[in-house]
Chain A
């Protein structure tokens, strides 16, 4: 009789890194679909190139470093997809490829691979590109197709336009919610993001703490500083960042109280950058800054361990 000898637990939960990543990909389907519909085939190319480049970068690194090839855990797919969704639809097609290589090699693998990076790979890569190719990274165009009954006119020839963040009065709340506005591929259709958020909550991949505190803080602070809170939430990348990037397990705190601090911190920094900074949008840098503060938050927040009471005679 050949029996396996191992310590318990002898049965474990079905959930794995791969299923968690798959859930994130599923949650991104509405956003991806909306982005491709609104911005056309060009957006599909950007996304395809960023995903394929990310997976390729991961594969090449793991081969060269003689590490086990783990592309099947789908984490590189998620990184590539999120990076692509963060780009304007009209970027030159070599840019998403460079971005994905930066994200996977520089941010993720150089620091030790999955779970070891201290900043979100897709976000840092976006930050680097924003600084390195500011002109290419901020060419926003009107959608080539629009959704629903709207006064926004679609343009088949990629007409540049200021993002809704700069000129929100040009768009109705309906357009802001549905995505009939210029912007990055994945961040324009807020409705799709909300559907993805609800899915992630339902399957238990993320908790509400970071997204709700992040978005809530942006709304509240914008209102205090005299802006329309609804436009503050719907016009830029806050929703996409709060749902899909700030919730990256690796780069946010451990405890719920830490998540709340993290979310509020992101919200405060976004509003400060928007209001007082030279960039119109601050979501990328807000989350990156809070990524860096995560070890500190983890150090400040801890729970009382069971049994820290005195003995009774």
Chain B
């Protein structure tokens, strides 16, 4: 079978199998937290408004915060028990987040919920509203409200939905295990999305380092209407939307545009599984699979309730083997470092990596030797070396002319750089966007 791919890119941590070896064969294990603090601003867009107060008793799946605006989504209780407070807590955003904290009573009592029937028979016009009431947002990392992605602007059409099962980021095996253990769920979610959006073609794209998941999904997808499976080369950032669309359809997302401008919508496989749950059972999104790895005693793929504190997540994996020097959510290429272990898991967190003191220290940058490795690695065909010079000189106007805003912040340039340069492209893009240069 032909393996699809894109130009440029890198093979990060190839010498340790992308860091996935410790967890790729570990089955998904559910963990019940003692207490959760659920942030109301997990998704992109306006934070939800709390509708519970301290002392209220809540059930699993009960709405604890209402959606704000057409793109907003509600937030649900992930455990049953007593609300211990609606608090302001400093998480990973610039400002503190409003969180609803609930003491788990351990009974796991669910609120009453009902689905719309099977994904093939559910009324098509009720699927997107069901996705919204389930509080689903993109589980690949960005947490963009899924119902908003599925609702196209007037006059816009798409002809393909791609499920992103490439999981090209290092360390993460959450999607791998999901596709392997619950392939029907993933395919069901795709079918529901295809019916809701009236799209005839659905493609599930998987990197070849997950052969067994590819086989499981291929089996589950056979005889399903309009669904096919694509095998991708193992290369980073294969799962970047732009690279994925190019690899699978040969189309390019126009500069400054969205996937729909290439007539494609991309959903993560975990998001698809959540859509299936919402449609068939009316189950809101209150838990997700998170890979926990690095220097923990038992690296695992945990099914975590949203709002579980990182300290409990680490304890659930037997604690740390060494004193941690760094922790980050996501993979090592684009992951976000945590200030401490009091941070809570959100719908977007597919991975937690605990790094020891030694590996947490990155070497200082030395002068650029113009080796061109960053240029060869850039999947957008930019010249990172030149852009770095321009950013360092503060010449953002020229950086913008050199396509700075097309950078997808994949970090490939920083990974391959022998001079260990920390390319400041996120700051540059933020500044250009804020100043509207």
Q: Which A positions have Cβ atoms within 8 angstroms of B?
A: 1-13, 15-17, 19-20, 70, 73, 75, 113-116, 249-250, 254-255, 302-313
Contacts and interface: CB of A to CB of B under 8 A. Distances in A.
B379 to A, nearest CB: 7
- 9 nearest A-B residue pairs (beta carbon): A307-B255, A311-B261, A9-B411, A303-B381, A10-B332, A249-B371, A115-B367, A306-B380, A11-B332
Interface residues of B, number: 68
Interface in B359-409: 359-363, 366-372, 375, 379-383, 385, 403, 406
Interface stretch (B67-75, B178-186, B333-341): B333-341
Given A70-B366, A307-B242, 12 more contacts: A4-B337, A6-B326, A8-B330, A10-B355, A10-B362, A20-B369, A20-B418, A115-B370, A305-B380, A305-B381, A306-B381, A307-B252
B422 A7 contact: yes
Given A304-B381, A306-B406, A8 B255 contact: no
B337 A10 contact: yes
10 contacts: A1-B324, A1-B341, A3-B324, A8-B332, A17-B419, A305-B255, A307-B252, A309-B254, A311-B257, A313-B157
A277 to B, nearest CB: 30
A8 B415 CA distance: 9
Contacts of A5: 337, 339
Contact of A12 (B355, B362, B375, B406): B362
A19 B418 contact: yes
A144 to B, nearest CB: 37
A7 B337 contact: yes
A119 B81 CA distance: 72
B213 to A, nearest CB: 24
Given A254-B385, A305-B406, A313-B157, A13 B254 contact: no
Given A116-B367, A307-B252, A9 B414 contact: yes
B263 interface: yes
A115 B371 CA distance: 9
A16 B417 CA distance: 7
A13 B333 CA distance: 11
A239 B67 CA distance: 70
A4 B336 CA distance: 11
Contacts of B262: 312
Contacts of B121: none
Interface string B178-217: 0000000000000000000000000000000000000000
B170 interface: yes
